[in-house]
Amino acid sequence: MYEKQRKLANHTVLLVCQLLIGLIALVGCGASKQVTRVESDTTIDLSGRWNDTDSRMVAETIIEDCLGHSWIIEHTADASAKPVLIVGGIRNKSMEHIAVQTFISDIERAFINSGKVRTVSSASERSEIREERAEQGEFSAIETIKRMGRELGADYMMTGEINTIADQEGGNQVMFYQTDLTLTNIETNEKVWIGQEKIKKFIGRKKYKM
Amino acid sequence: MRWQANSSVTETLIKNLMIKILPILLSLFLVTGCSRYSMQELRISLETGNYEEAYAELKKNAQKKAELPLLFELGMVAHYANHFMDSNETLGQAEEIADELYTKSLSKEALSLVTSDLAKPYAVKKYERLLSYYYQILNYYYLNQLSGALVECRQATNLIEYYKGEGDDYDFFGSGFVAYLCGMIFEAAGEWNDAFISYRQAEVNYRNSLEKAGVPIPEYLGDSLVRVARKLGFTEEAADYQALYGALPEYPENYGELILFYESGYVPQKDKVTLTFPILKTDEFGEEHEAEAKKFVPTLLEREGRTYPDVELEYLLHIEMPTYHSNRPQLTGIKVQVGEMIEQGHLVEDVEQIAIETLNTEYTVVLFRTLVRALLKYLVTREVDKKSEVLGLLANLVNIITEKADTRSWVTLPNQIFMVRMSLPEGTHTVGLSFLNGNGGIGLRERLGDVEISSNRITLLNYRTYK
């Protein structure tokens, strides 16, 4: 009888301990991840920071404004040709690590897809293309070699910057993004268009969660 | 009669088993948790320059559970292992977690009420968050991405502003140093106005934290203020700063500047101390309500460490509290020599001092919370004990084991940070480092070869010793 009770006690304690271990392991170390594919133009705001949607929307809105302005009509009338544009440096003066190159690509896409202007490669892209052209002269078949000195010179350069202003109180934060773009006539330095796009986001954090 | 005898034997056996097994199991969970890593091994790896091994080991643990302060440790070790991009990603992740901590988990808060503060996520310290920017800024600088360093500076500046806005009791710990570093980066990028604002804030922040942090305004900061005020054409301000800090040294056009941060030793690791509070048989409190227990805490505080005759004692309430013991390194200064030029380092951040002062500020609140929790746990135990001696014993054991001090902190941080600024001619230099011990003698010498100095530019370097 005594031995039976001793065994029973041992089993009970061990069972409790095992349950305890299982519970802690399950609750403490469990991790789950779910991946769902979505359309690339779907707006998803997770952190409240500048994201792909902001980049795309700002580029589209601001370029629509740029292309609807009088400078393009005046240029077409004077030169009888579509203006040639280059997208220069866009400085990130915000407090977030913004992928500026993605924003530049969005701007170039909006320009090219409009069909109203011609867009040439940026300085960094040009050097790679020039290198390729130089190598063609050495290694490619003569009939396929592309000639030097035939690059399309840009009439206008677009430059700009992205700024942020943050205001925070407790768990609530307001992020204000301002993108300023300027189009300058490369020959005369005349600023022919200045555009601005603002985004304001409210990021609210709950005091408590379960 | 026979059954009673056997029942008593069973109870004794269960008691013995509980005494032997449960403490081991519970201690194991509390001490190790899910992310186990040995700080001792990590320190050995760091001290022997085995950064890759330290980084790989920590990374393995962080993959199991990404939490603070482990991510800070990992980010810093990645920095020393020259994995600058990884370091930034990790410290960025740590920042996100720190932001999310604003939202408190009710379940974890509730669990901490019956166990210990260890049940809650690590409450990251303000100076730790600011120091993580120090490493992120350096990472971007070493990656030759000044724009990235500028972003970190803007974030750090914004965080300091947020802390200032939280209340008048902000201690400004670490904010002077980080604002000063941001000023240097803004200046290096030609953002004169931002540099001027950061330098001014650094001056104010150093002054505001001087009493507790013990670090005076670095004298180089005066030069920076005069120089940038002049560049901006702020003649009045430039004259004021010059009157306050002295004339700006003039250097030829082809000079650049070496800025070296020397990080010495380790910040002390939090320890725990057991405090004992006697509960007397005559005490009447908290039988019904938590509020009564809270009211009783001040009485209990007065009794800490006092002895009473056994006949008066009902219970000795033991609690664990975090504490710091000074851990000053042997090497507590630096002299830098380039050719004939010698420059002594200036203390810009005393991490040990601000860690201790931060704990001192929190101490009363933590002590009160811990005592209330211990009292409530004791009351529950007493009630349970009345119904079953075995369960009472079990409850008491759980109380003793779970009542642990929260000793978490970013432990691989340096103890102190010194800065040396030297104007040097453009070109490649060999830089001699002499590390000074407590009496001013040279405790260690090192040599850095091929340090590039460019005209009118700054060259940033950081160097760590562990002695």
For residue B154, list chain A residues with Cβ-Cβ distance below 8 A: 94-95, 164
Taking residues B196-208, report their average pLDDT.
96
What pLDDT is stored for residue B161 in this prediction? 92
pLDDT of residue B56: 93
B388-425: pLDDT as tens digits: 888 878 877 777 778 899 999 999 999 999 999 999 99
B positions 146-175 inside 8 Å of A (CB): 147-148, 150-151, 154-155, 157-158, 162, 165
Give residue A23's pLDDT: 53
Q: What percent of chain A has pLDDT over 90?
A: 61
Q: Nearest by CB to A9, which of B13, B64, B107?
A: B13
Beta-bridged to residue B331, according to DSSP, are: B437
**Alpha helix locations (H) across B255-350?**
290-302
The most confident of A17-31, A46-60, A120-134, B136-150, by mean pLDDT:
B136-150
* H or E element that contains A87: strand A84-93
Q: Is residue B422 within a helix (H) or strand (E), and if so which, with residue range?
A: strand B416-425
Of A17, A29, A171, the CB nearest to B103: A171
Evaluated on CA atoms A116, A88, A195, A106, the torsion sign reads positive
CA–CA gap between residue B395 and residue B380 (Å, rounded): 8
Q: Which of A191-200, B255-264, B344-353, B373-382 has the lowest average pLDDT?
A: B373-382
Distances (CA, A) of B296 to B107, B278, B318: 26, 12, 16
Look at the block and give the residue holding tokens 């939490």: B67
pLDDT tens for residues A35-92? 788 777 777 777 778 888 999 999 999 999 999 999 999 999 999 999 999 999 999 9
pLDDT of residue B32: 44
Between CA B197 and CA B157 the distance in angstroms is: 10
Q: Residue B220: is its pLDDT beyond 60?
A: yes
Q: Cβ of B163: how many Cβ atoms within 10 Å?
A: 18
Cα Rg for chain A, rounded, in angstroms? 30
Residue B413 burial (CB count, 10 A):
26
Element housing A94 (H / E): none
- What is the average per-residue pLDDT within B40-56? 92
Tokens 């030097």 correspond to A148
Residue A165 to residue B22: CA distance in whole angstroms = 54
Q: Do residues B359 and B171 touch, judged by C-beta distance below 8 A?
A: no
Report CA-CA distances (Å) from A92 to A89, B44, B146, B193. Answer: 9, 41, 11, 16
Q: Residue A10 CA to chain centroid, in angstroms?
A: 62
The predicted model gives B122-140 an average pLDDT of: 97
CB B447 within 8 A of CB B433: yes
Taking contacts as CB-CB distances below 8 angstroms, the residues of chain B near A168 are: 158, 162, 165
C-alpha to C-alpha distance for A13 and A7, rounded to whole angstroms: 10
Residue whose pair of structure tokens reads 């007493």 in the numeric block: B382
Closest chain A residue to B108 measured between Cα atoms? A210
In the prediction, which pLDDT does B114 show? 75
First-to-last C-alpha distance (Å) of chain B: 69
CA B26 remoteness from chain centre: 27
pLDDT confidence bin for B253, thresholds 50/70/90? confident
Q: Which residues of A touch B17 (CB under 8 A)?
A: 9-10, 13
Q: Please report, for chain B, how many H helices and E strands are present, in that order.
A: 15, 11
A154: Cβ contacts below 8 Å, ≥ 6 apart? A84, A85, A86, A120, A186
In chain B, the residue whose alpha carbon lies closest to the alpha carbon of A8 is B10
Query: Both tokens of residue A63?
Result: 């370029």
Q: Could you tell me which chain B residue has the CA closest to the CA of A206?
A: B103
Given CA atoms A5, A10, A16, A22 in this order, what sign does their dihedral have?
A: negative
User: Minimal CA–CA distance to A90: which of A2, A190, A181?
Assistant: A181
The percentage of residues in chain B with a pLDDT greater than 90, rounded to a whole number, is 69
Look at residue B237 in the predicted model and tell me its pLDDT: 94
User: Residue A31 above 50 pLDDT?
Assistant: no
Question: For residue B319, what are the β-bridge partners?
Answer: B275
Scanning every residue of chain B, which has its alpha carbon at the shortest distance from the alpha carbon of A2?
A: B6
Give the range with max mean pLDDT: B56-65, B298-307, B326-335. B326-335
Q: Above 60 in pLDDT, residue B5?
A: no
Percent of chain B, pLDDT > 70?
A: 91
Q: Where are the alpha helices (DSSP H) in B246-289?
A: none
Residue B46: which of B11, B26, B72, B73 has the closest Cα? B73
> How confident is the model at residue A30, as a pLDDT?
45
The one-character DSSP state at B31 is H
What number is the average pLDDT over the span B149-164?
A: 95
Tokens of A184: 């300058």
A97-to-A48, B151, B173 alpha-carbon distances in Å: 13, 6, 26
**Residues forming beta bridges with residue A124, ordered by sequence position:** none
Q: What residues have CB less than 8 Å from B356, skipping those under 6 apart?
A: B268, B324, B326
More confident residue, B377 or B322: B322
Nearest CB to A171; choose among B22, B102, B107: B102
Range B93-104 average pLDDT:
89
Report the greatest alpha carbon distance in chain B.
103
User: pLDDT (tens digit, 9 = 90+) per residue, B69-83?
Assistant: 999 999 999 999 999
- pLDDT at position A41: 75
What are the phi and psi torsion angles at B395 (to 5°)? -60, -40
Q: What is the mean pLDDT of chain B?
A: 89
User: Taking residues B147-171, what's their average pLDDT?
Assistant: 93
d(Cα A186, Cα A210) in Å, to the nearest integer?
59
Q: Residue A1's pLDDT is what?
A: 43
B9, B13, B154 member nearest A95 (Cβ): B154
Return the SS3 of B253.
Answer: coil
- How far are the Cα atoms of B71, B201, B215 from residue B207, in angstroms, in the given order? 31, 10, 9
pLDDT of residue B33: 44
Q: What number is the average pLDDT over the span B423-449?
A: 95
Of the candidates A9, A14, A95, A67, the residue with the CA atom closest to the CA atom of residue A193: A67
pTM of full prediction above 0.80: yes
| Per-residue pLDDT tens over the stretch A124-167 | 889 999 999 999 999 999 999 999 999 999 999 999 999 999 88
pLDDT at residue A24 tops 70: no
> If pLDDT is split at 50, 70 and 90, which confidence band does A8 have?
very low
Residue B230 scores a pLDDT above 50: yes
Map tokens 């002390």 to a residue: B268
Instruction: Please write the tens of the pLDDT for every residue from B274-301.
Output: 999 999 989 876 556 677 777 888 999 9
Give the confidence band of B62 by pLDDT, cuts at 50, 70, 90. confident
